Amino acid sequence: MSYTLIPRRTRILLTTMLAGLLLSGCGVNNIPTYDESAKARWSDVQNQYQRRADLIPNLVETVKGYAAQEREVLTQVTEARAKASQIKVDASTVTDPAKFKEYQDAQSALTGALGRLLVTVERYPDLKSNQNFLALQSQLEGTENRISVARRDYIESVRAYNTELKTFPGLIWASTLYRSYKPMETFTVAEDLAKPPTVKF
Amino acid sequence: MFFQFRTAWGRAILGVLLCVAAFAAYALTFPELTGRVVDDAGVLDPSTKAALERKLAEFETKTTGQLVVVTLKSLQGTSIEDYGYQLGRHWQIGQKEKNTGALLIVAPNERKVRIEVGYGFEGTLTDAVSRLIIENSIIPRFRANDFAGGVGRGVDDIIQAVSVDSEEWKARAKQRPDDQPGLVDVLALVFFLFIVFMIVRSVAGQGRGYAQTGAGSRRGARGPIFIPIPGSWGSSGSSWSGGGGFSGGGGSFGGGGASGSW
């Protein structure tokens, strides 16, 4: 036999290096990678919701200028926005089911209130043709679209992460190296369907 | 026994491929990026297309940003917003990292038009500006069935909106990190190959002995070494393809822009 061609120690070393290479291809790094990716997508979602919240005061003021009597709808929007802004969200919200649901519900409520406001605006042709309002309205539509895209990206990244936790070989790593990594929450309300109606010209 | 194993594997792989093919049928299909003007719906005449190509190529040379005009035969049942950002991501319009890309999408059969703006252009080509361009320059001409005019004027307006900061971009473009694989990538590759070489040498060293002794089963276990290729190397490939043609620069889209219908 030719075992003596390669000394035992070298063979062990080479086998170890090979094992290391194979392991790195076996997905031991997947869980943290997917975790980081999902958290990045989550902060994108938050940014877009924040962007929407920032547009609202201006929108309310503009509408008040033409339709001050629609006090109820305007108050609803302002209150919904305040409620949504009060909820403190950060990276840890994604693994906290109660917190996540609270945030999701608050944002859905705001979407609903905005929808009602835009329906009300239909009755005021002067307001509808106001340049300021048109600019705000297009910004709002753009932001709603961005929210939609960000949510979809987030849902997809959470899906990848949760799947990795549950399937082989991620399952092995999850129960050994990554015991502190919990599955993430995903959006349940189909906000795409609850999009506020757009004003037709 | 080994032969049976291979057959079972083959069948399993075939099954997976068929499933994937079935799923693929439900996904959106995108036209090929044949150039900066992709007239899938056939509403633009050749001279318009040539003029647009020139304008858009000039824009890219000056600012490294990528603008693409595309007309679609069908939106395949989705909204133009939904289709738009996916198309932008599929083609990867815009420079990587900076995401300086924009699409002018026209769907004549659904009578929808959209300006899809990449992250990098959102500062100047805002949603409001996109909306104004669509309402004032594009839709009136589309209503009069003047697609060439509408698209041409729309492109001019977009270039104008976006060129506000072109000097800034030129400066940034010079500082743009090289698309070639970095030094770290090259070193990693060399190190990796060295390890592979050492392993192969050790296996080959024993192989010579095996041929003499005929211990075939041992060889089979060590046979094909499955080498995992790190995924990051795939990304540097996109900038090498093209060879004279136009290809996306690796940019992404987030859903910014505006739509309109006529």
CA angle B69, B70, B76 (to 5 degrees): 155
β B253-261/B37-39 pair status: unpaired
Total CB pairs under 8 A between chain A and B:
77
Residue B213: closest CA among A8, A3, A6:
A3
Please name the member of B127, B198, B228 whose beta carbon is closest to the beta carbon of A142.
B127
The nearest alpha carbon in chain A to B257 belongs to A142
Q: Do B195 and A201 touch (CB under 8 A)?
A: no
Q: Which residues pair with B243 in a beta bridge?
A: none
pLDDT digits (tens, 9 = 90+) for A149-165: 999 999 999 999 988 88
Q: Do B228 and A201 touch (CB under 8 A)?
A: no
Query: What is the sign, positive or negative, of the torsion defined by CA atoms of B151, B154, B160, B162?
Result: negative
Please name the member of A3, A17, A149 whose beta carbon is closest to the beta carbon of B195.
A17
Query: What is the sign, positive or negative, of the torsion defined by CA atoms of A147, A149, A155, A158?
Result: negative
Please name the member of B135, B199, B254 whose beta carbon is closest to the beta carbon of A14.
B199
Can you tell me whether residue A6 is helix, strand or coil?
coil
Q: Using the structure block, give the residue that is written with the tokens 């309205």.
A: A137
- Buried b / exposed e over A49-58, threshold 16 CB at 10 Å, is bebbbebbee
Residue B122: closest CA among B161, B92, B90:
B161
- For an interface test with A, give the residue of B28, B78, B80, B81 to mutate (most A CBs within 10 A): B81
Residue B139 tokens, joined = 């839709």
Instruction: Give the Cβ contact number of residue B158 at 10 Å.
Output: 27
The pLDDT value recorded for residue B150 is 93
Instruction: Give the Cβ contact number of residue B209 at 10 Å.
Output: 14
- Buried b / exposed e over B81-92, threshold 16 CB at 10 Å, is bbbbbbbbbebb
Q: Give CA–CA dist B25/B125, Å, rounded.
A: 35
Does residue A96 carry a pLDDT above 60? yes
Residue B90 tokens, joined = 């599929």
ipTM exceeding 0.85, yes/no: no
**Which chain B residues touch A if contact means CB-CB below 8 Å?**
81, 85, 126-128, 130-131, 135, 192, 195, 198-199, 202, 205-206, 208-210, 213, 225-228, 253-258
pLDDT digits (tens, 9 = 90+) for A39-70: 999 999 999 999 999 999 999 998 888 888 88
- Average pLDDT, consecutive stretches of 10 residues, N- to C-terminus, chain B (262 residues): 58 59 64 91 91 92 91 92 92 90 93 93 89 92 92 92 63 46 62 77 60 44 46 39 66 91 90
For the whole model, what pTM was predicted?
Answer: 0.70
Q: Do A6 and B202 touch (CB under 8 A)?
A: yes
pLDDT digits (tens, 9 = 90+) for A172-200: 777 777 777 888 888 876 654 445 445 44
List strands edge to edge, sheet with B101-107: B37-39, B66-71, B101-107, B112-118, B253-261
What DSSP string runs through chain B?
A: -HHHHHHHHHHHHHHHHHHHHHHHTTS-------SSEEETT--S-HHHHHHHHHHHHHHHHHHS-EEEEEE-S--TTS-HHHHHHHHHHHHT-SBTTT--EEEEEEETTTTEEEEEEEGGGTTTS-HHHHHHIIIIIIHHHHHTT-HHHHHHHHHHHHHHHHGGGHHHHHHHHHHSPPSSPPHHHHHHHHHHHHHHHHHHHHHHHHHHHHHHHT-HHHHHHHSS---PPPGGGGGGGTTT--TTS----B--EEEEEEEEE-
Residue A27: closest CA among A158, A184, A176:
A176
Q: Do B198 and A146 touch (CB under 8 A)?
A: no
Q: Do B228 and A21 touch (CB under 8 A)?
A: yes
> Which residues are CB-neighbours of A19 under 8 A, at least 6 positions away?
none
The pLDDT value recorded for residue B202 is 77
The pLDDT value recorded for residue B56 is 93
Q: What percent of chain A has pLDDT over 90?
A: 30
Average pLDDT, chain A: 83
The pLDDT value recorded for residue B141 is 94
- B48 half-sphere exposure, CB direction, 13 A CA radius: 17
Contact B64, B100 (CB under 8 A): yes
Q: Using the structure block, give the residue that is written with the tokens 């309310």.
A: A60
Q: Do B127 and A141 touch (CB under 8 A)?
A: yes
> Which residues are CB-neighbours of B34 under 8 A, at least 6 positions away?
none
The pLDDT value recorded for residue A45 is 92
Does residue A32 carry a pLDDT above 70? yes
Residue A37: closest CA among A163, A144, A176:
A163
Residue A73: closest CA among A116, A14, A31:
A116
